Every structure is written in C-alpha cells, then in structure tokens.
Amino acid sequence: MELVSTCYTATAPADSRRGTAATRRGAAGGAPEAEARLLPEGTHLLALTQPRARRLRLTLTLPTGWRTVSAEDRALLRLLRLLIRQDSLTTCRSDRDRELTLGGMSLHVQTEADRTQFLLTAPAAPLQPAAELLLDVAFLPAMRQEQIDAQVHALRAAAPHAALPPSLGAEDLRAEHRRLFSAEHGLLVASGPGSASAMIHDLTAAVRAVLAAR
C-alpha cells in the first residue's frame, strides 16, 4: 500500500468535505494530472493521468481491522478472504470469468493483516465496466452454500479452535461480509491515459452502481 498511499497524499489529497474533489494540474496549467474525491459513501477515489500508459490499472484497498476485532470476527474475516480469493480465481461467476477472459483483464487479490487489496489491469478504455468488475469481486462475491461449507470444513480442520459460528448460511455470511468489508474508508485508485476528471466520473458511477446492488 506504500505506493498507493504516497500517490494519494502527495499528488491530490482529498477535500475534507464529502462529495467534493481536489485536483492537481500539470506544470503548464493544462488538464488535471490527478484528481481526488471523497464520496458520501465514505470511499476515497483517486485518478492519476499517465499519458503514455497503454493499460488501466485499478487498485481497491479496504481496511479490515484484523488487530481490533474480536476472535469471532477474525475467524469470519479469514473465511471471507478465502471465499473472495477463491471467487476471484475460479469460475464461480461464469459471466465475470468470461468478461475477464475476453476483455483482456488481469485480476489479483492480496490480503494482509489490516487490509484486503484488489488489483485489476485492463485495456485503456472504457474504465467504468472494468471498475465495476473489480468492485463486484470485492463487494458482491459469489457465495454458494457448497463453497462456504467446503471452506468452513477446511478452516476447522486447519484451526480446530477457530471461533466460527456453529452454522453459516449464505445469507448470514453475506450480511457479515457487508459489515466487515465496508466501502467506508476504502481507497479506489485508477491510473491510465485518460483525463483525471473523466476517470473520477467513471469511478464514481461504478461505485454507486455496485453498492446499489449490494
């Protein structure tokens, strides 16, 4: 996250008022090279213009407070991370897999103690569908009951004392996912050849479309 944090604070710190944007223009005062926005949903957006880039790079970082939650929540976080990683690597959602394959996109999920990071590279345009795909993986993972049961069994075998609830249904786990993987305080960064203002517009539309379906 060091690179993301450095870019965010050094190039275009977000305005303290939600729903507003801050920009940084090039030396000649032309088109913005960076623009930041804090959405009412609490998500921070940052767009960085790289005129020579041939592909888009999208990064979503979500805080997951591993050190500050209860033992039961840590067990749920571990389970949810496993499900999200599995969902991002398999064909749990055939439409998503097809879009990744045909769209020439590459998706990776990284987990660390206090954050989960989603990274997507894609062709330079259009941005909004690529951003929606990334956000879909983060906020709308496919949670099938058989998938949940298999991962719960594997977790309990590896950690018999894990503080998991005795039974976990798909709907219950989706509710826990909404609670533990909140869009608030998330950071979504896009870099590519497009204008920073246009990228911010597309990121805003993508966040609102996916969260509305959550």
Domain limits of the chain?
Answer: 57-200
CATH (residue range 57-200): 3.30.830.10
pLDDT at residue 101 is higher than 50: yes
Which has more pLDDT, 167 or 98? 167
Which has more pLDDT, 46 or 138? 46
pLDDT at site 89: 58
Mean pLDDT of the chain: 78
- Structure confidence at residue 12 as a pLDDT band (50, 70, 90): very low
CA distances, 139 to each of 17, 32, 116, 175 (Å): 25, 30, 12, 11
Other CB atoms closer than 10 Å to residue 183's CB: what's the count? Answer: 20
Return the ∠ at Cα 100 (arms to 128 and 112), rounded to 5°: 85
pLDDT in tens, 52-91: 898 999 999 999 877 777 778 888 888 888 888 776 655 4
pLDDT at site 109: 81
pLDDT at site 15: 45
Residues 86, 73: Cα–Cα separation, whole Å? 20
* DSSP assignment of 9-22: HHH-PPPSSTT-EE
pLDDT at site 3: 28
- Structure confidence at residue 46 as a pLDDT band (50, 70, 90): very high
